[in-house]
């Protein structure tokens, strides 16, 4: 068997040629000194996104919806990975059905990878990929307080997303107008291990354009999960339609309408 030799007698250099050996050695040094790319980012791979919502179709031209509920304890287990657990009101905009264009307002634990408990609003257009979200920083949510949440379209101008009343705190999204064909409320959590204590929605109304606030007489309950076959941990039930309750890993009795 031939000896591999040692570096001291430049055996490798003799076999490969010293130029090639130098190139190989320098490449190895650079490769070893380059920061490792193999560290995986903190993705919440084990999480399953959950929703549990009550949805109302607006049979005539409406310009928004509003709901009243108590702010409950929210705890997102995946907030550091960009996840959240939230109480949310969504309203469709721009005469588009099934919330393909929407404005939402709510309260969330977890915001943009930060351990925050905050009011927020978001908007989007599924067809174009337009999207935005922002904190409502003028007011801070308090667990136990009862809040009014409102999304209201103002003719051809903009969509309001308010906590409080029309004179409350909130944001105006200027690319939303027209009619609202549906609205819905409930929980949204990016991880099924997160906690949303039971929320009772004591009032749910849509606003008929240039008209009055109306309590819908029909609606649908939906619990969602992804991917199929994963457990649904968010639950939703009527408390005398249109009132309803929802919960997820609740630390208080989830089956009470209060």
Partner 1 sequence: MSTRLQSLGRFAATAAAVALGMLLAAVAIPQLTGVLGGGPPLEPTVSVQAGLTPRLDASTVQKIAEQHLASMQTMAAGGQAIAVHEISAVGGDRMASVEPAAPVEADASGIRWVVRATGTFVGQRVPPGNPPIVADTGYLIIDDATGEVVGMGMP
Closest CB to partner 1 among residues 94, 121: 121
Residue 87 Cβ vs partner 1, minimum distance, rounded to whole Å: 12
**Tokens 């509920």 correspond to what residue?**
69
Closest CB to partner 1 among residues 51, 69: 51
CA distances from residue 234 to 59, 64, 86, 150, 222 in whole angstroms, order as listed: 28, 25, 12, 23, 10
Residue 23 Cβ vs partner 1, minimum distance, rounded to whole Å: 5
Of 132, 108, 111, nearest in space to 119 by CA:
108
Closest CB to partner 1 among residues 138, 251: 138
Q: Is 116 exposed, middle or buried (0-12, 13-18, 19+ CB in 10 A)?
A: middle
Closest CB to partner 1 among residues 97, 253: 97
d(C-alpha 162, C-alpha 248), whole Å: 25
Q: What is the contact surface with partner 1 in residues (CB under 8 A)? A: 9-10, 13, 18-19, 21-23, 25-27, 29-30, 40-43, 51, 53, 81-84, 86, 88, 90, 98-100, 102, 104, 112-113, 120-124, 126, 129-135, 137-138, 158, 160, 162, 169-175, 184, 186, 188, 190, 222, 224
The phi, psi pair for 54, rounded to 5°, reads -110, 130
Residue 1 Cβ vs partner 1, minimum distance, rounded to whole Å: 25
């Amino acid at each position: 068997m031939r000896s591999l030799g040692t570096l001291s007698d430049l055996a490798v250099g003799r076999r490969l040629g010293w130029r090639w050996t130098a190139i190989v050695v320098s490449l190895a040094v650079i490769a070893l000194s380059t920061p490792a790319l193999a560290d995986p980012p903190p993705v919440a791979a084990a999480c399953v996104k959950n929703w549990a919502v009550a949805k109302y179709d607006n049979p005539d031209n409406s310009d928004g919806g509003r709901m009243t509920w108590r702010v409950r304890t929210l705890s997102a287990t995946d907030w550091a990975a960009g996840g959240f657990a939230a109480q949310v009101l969504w309203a469709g905009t721009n005469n588009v059905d099934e919330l393909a264009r929407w404005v939402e307002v709510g309260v969330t634990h977890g915001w943009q990878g930060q351990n925050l408990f905050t009011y927020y609003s978001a908007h989007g257009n599924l067809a174009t990929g337009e999207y935005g979200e922002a904190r409502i920083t003028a007011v801070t949510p308090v667990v136990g307080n009862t809040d009014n949440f409102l999304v209201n379209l103002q003719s051809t101008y903009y969509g309001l997303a308010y906590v409080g009343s029309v004179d409350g705190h909130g944001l105006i999204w200027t690319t939303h107008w027209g009619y609202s064909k549906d609205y819905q409320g409930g929980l949204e959590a990016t991880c099924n291990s997160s906690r949303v204590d039971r929320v009772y929605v004591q009032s749910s109304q849509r606003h008929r354009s240039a008209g009055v606030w109306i309590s819908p007489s029909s609606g649908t309950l939906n619990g969602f999960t992804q991917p199929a076959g994963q457990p649904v941990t968010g639950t939703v039930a009527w408390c005398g339609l249109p009132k309803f309750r929802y919960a997820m890993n609740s630390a208080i009795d989830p089956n009470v309408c209060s």
